[in-house]
């Protein structure tokens, strides 16, 4: 339950952030290919950790 939900939500976060970062970098005149993977990895890893903790807390409280 918790792990599958966390993975699914993290996938959605990765899709949204993976689309947004190159668009924002292009808008500000930076090369979208440079640095996007590092930023995306950092955001999805940290968000995945916190999403898992939040869902586990919610399931334990109920």
Per-residue pLDDT tens for 3-57? 999 999 999 999 999 999 999 999 999 999 888 999 999 999 999 999 999 999 9
Bigger pLDDT: 50 vs 1 = 50
Q: Where are the domains of the chain?
A: 2-61
- Provide the 10 A C-beta neighbour count for residue 8: 11
Bigger pLDDT: 17 vs 62 = 17
Rg (CA), the chain: 14
What pLDDT is recorded for position 35? 86
- 62 pLDDT above the threshold of 90: no
3-state helix, strand, coil in the chain (%, to 5): 85, 0, 15
What pLDDT is recorded for position 51? 97
Please state, in angstroms and rounded to a whole number, the distance separating the CA atoms of residues 42 and 50.
12
Residue 13: half-sphere exposure toward Cβ, Cα within 13 Å = 20
């Amino acid at each position: 339950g918790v792990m599958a939900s966390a993975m699914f939500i993290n996938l959605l976060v990765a899709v949204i952030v993976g689309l947004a970062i190159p668009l924002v970098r292009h808008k500000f005149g930076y090369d979208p290919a440079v640095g996007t993977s590092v930023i995306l990895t950092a955001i999805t890893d940290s968000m995945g950790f916190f999403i898992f903790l939040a869902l586990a807390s919610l399931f334990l409280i109920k």
